[in-house]
Each structure stands twice: as structure tokens, then as C-alpha cells.
Structure 1
Amino acid sequence: MSWKLKTFDELTTRELYSILKERTEIFVVEQNCPYLEVDGKDLSSYHLYTEVDGEIAAYLRILPAGVSYEQASLGRVIVKKEYRGQGLAQELLQRGIDFTLNELNEDTIKIQGQHYLEKFYSSFGFQTISDVYMEDGIPHVDMLLQKNANR
């Protein structure tokens, strides 16, 4: 499976459309959570994804420090339903972490993870730094990954 990493301006209109379609399908429709999915942060982000037959199979966005938090961040992590359970989420997240720490030379990554995925994120070295709180009707926790800490 080949992975692509692009800035917003490098995305074709078809790629952007596919990314937004899948994010909306999962975060708004599947999770029954009406919220402003297109939040303006895509313009300053890197977009990491893989496609199968022209459709987004897995995706996440990498937000440089200062876009969402003072630290760099990963967000909008998705794997399309048909491709779940095949290890794509692990590969996607590891590629996002590696790019952020090694290419962007960031020391810390902050995420706002859905609470049910806390164990998954902690398996990559993220540590929970908040109590569980509700965000758009879904329990979340804030987590941090420190470069070279327990890795």
C-alpha cells in the first residue's frame, strides 16, 4: 500500500474531496455527531493518507505547532470501515508520529483522543494528561507524546 503525504496546496481537488467525504462520513454520519468538520485548520496541515481504487482507506492530518495547540498535533484519524482490522490504523499513526518528530523536528505531540481509543494511543507512547471530558457529545482525553520518552 502506498502512502501519500501532502500539504493542503499539494492536494488535487479530487484528493481533497475524497478526504473531506471520508472524514464527514465517519465523524459526522457514522458517529452521529453534527459539528463543523471543515474547521479551517486543513490549510496549515499536512495530510497523510492511502487510497484503494481511488478512495481514501486511511487518513490523518498533521498540525504543526501553533495551529491547534502550542505543540504539534495529530487529528482526524480515520480508517474507512471496509479496511478496519488490517493494521492500517497502526501504520498510519506510526507514520504520522515519525514525520512529526523526525521531519518537523517536534519534541512533543498533543492529541485529543476519543476515550475508547486511549489504550490504542498509549501503545504508541502517548500519556493521558486530562480527565475524560465531552467534546461534541463524545468522551475524549488529552494525551501527549514526548520525543524519546519511554520509546
Structure 2
Amino acid sequence: MSDLSVTSLFEIYRLRQQVFVIEQQCIYEDIDAADKTALHVLGWIDDRGIRCASENASDSTEDNTKDNTKDNTKESHYPKEQLPILCAYLRIIGLENTAQTVSIGRVVIEMGSRRKGVGKQLLSTALDYIERIAPETTITLSAQHHLTGFYQVLGFCVVSDPYDEDGIPHVRMVKTLAR
């Protein structure tokens, strides 16, 4: 897959602003230097359903598209003429250095796509990719406290007490890939 397109970058920033800044009312600097080197995993709603693919901001990466889940477009609140729409996103930091630890962050699902399996599909795409590239790594993330059950189903364990991050309770979670 080619470098991150201007359209993809715009949609990423639009979705992150909509959820993190407007919906969750967190005033913070969302755009940072990590976006330049991160691997971005995007979930798009199109006329075939939800598909997730990875895009790299600095280098090309292989296509990691998943089209094998149920068709979620019938559940979407978007008219077909507005498709495709970015409905989910996360970024992976640390893969570029083949580090022993990578981080998943900025996980966001737009309101109309929540509780429909989109988050699980997005995270599964990211975890599959990490396991192929760095099979002996530890994955960390900072999860909103109320979402710990979601991440635990995907194999993450809570490793901290709750802490405040931008006015929202979070916990540090870790998943170690098989060695």
C-alpha cells in the first residue's frame, strides 16, 4: 500500500477531533510527531461493508485489508452516496525500530459504528499485523478504564491502577505475543 494519502490524513484528523475533542471534550494537542512515523490502521465503511487496512505515513506497507466480516453498511447511519467514510482508526508506534515493545494508541470508533464489531475488527487487524512483523514483542496501550473488558477479550491485561489522562480515567494494558 502506498504512503498515507492526504484524504486519509484529513479523515484521520477529522475523526480524532470529532471523538476526542468534541464528543469527549478533551482539549489537548492531538496532532503530534508520532503521526509521521506511525503505522495507521483505518476502518472504512463502503458499499461492501467495513474494511480495515494499514497505511504508513513514511514508507509503503503491504496491504492488510480485511473484507471477511459481516456487512455493516446496512447498520450505518450514512447514506451510500457519502461512502466511503472513515469509521475507525488506531495508530501503532514502535514498529519502525523493530522494538521489543510497540504501542497502540489513538483508538477511535465513530459513534454510529460502535457496538457493531468494528473495534474488534480494527484491533484484530492491528494485532495480526504486529504479530507478522514483530512476533516476539510486547504491545502496550493506555485504555479508557470503562473499556478494559473489551481489551481483555483481545488478550490484554491491566498492569496499572487507574490514572487521569486528559480528564478521563485510563489504565495501562499489556499484551505479550507468544515467544
TM beyond 0.5: yes
TM-score (norm 2): 0.73
> 5 Å matches for 1:94-109?
94-109=124-139
TM-score (norm 1): 0.85
> 5 Å matches for 1:43-122?
43-52=36-45, 53-64=83-94, 71-122=101-152
CA distance, structure 2, for counterparts of residue 145 and residue 24 of structure 1:
28
Aligned residue in 2 for 1:129: 159
Does structure 1 conserve the Cα–Cα contact (< 8 Å) formed by 2:40 and 2:91?
yes
Say how many residue pairs are matched.
Answer: 141
CA distance, structure 2, for counterparts of residue 57 and residue 106 of structure 1:
30
Which structure ranks higher in relative contact order (CA pairs < 8 Å, sequence separation ≥ 6)? 2
Does structure 1 conserve the Cα–Cα contact (< 8 Å) formed by 2:161 and 2:171?
yes
Structure 1 runs of 4+ off > 4 angstroms?
none
Unaligned runs of 5+ in 2: 46-82
Check if 1:41 corresponds to 2:41: no
> 5 Å matches for 1:6-25?
10-25=3-18
CA distance, structure 2, for counterparts of residue 70 and residue 40 of structure 1:
21
Instruction: Output one character per residue of 1:41-74: Cα deviation in whole Å (capped at 9) or x when no partner.
Output: 111111111222132111111112588x971011
Structure (1 or 2) with the larger CA radius of gyration: 2
Instruction: Output one character per residue of 1:12-53: Cα deviation in whole Å (capped at 9) or x when no partner.
Output: 111100111001110111001100010211111111112221
Unaligned runs of 5+ in 1: 1-5
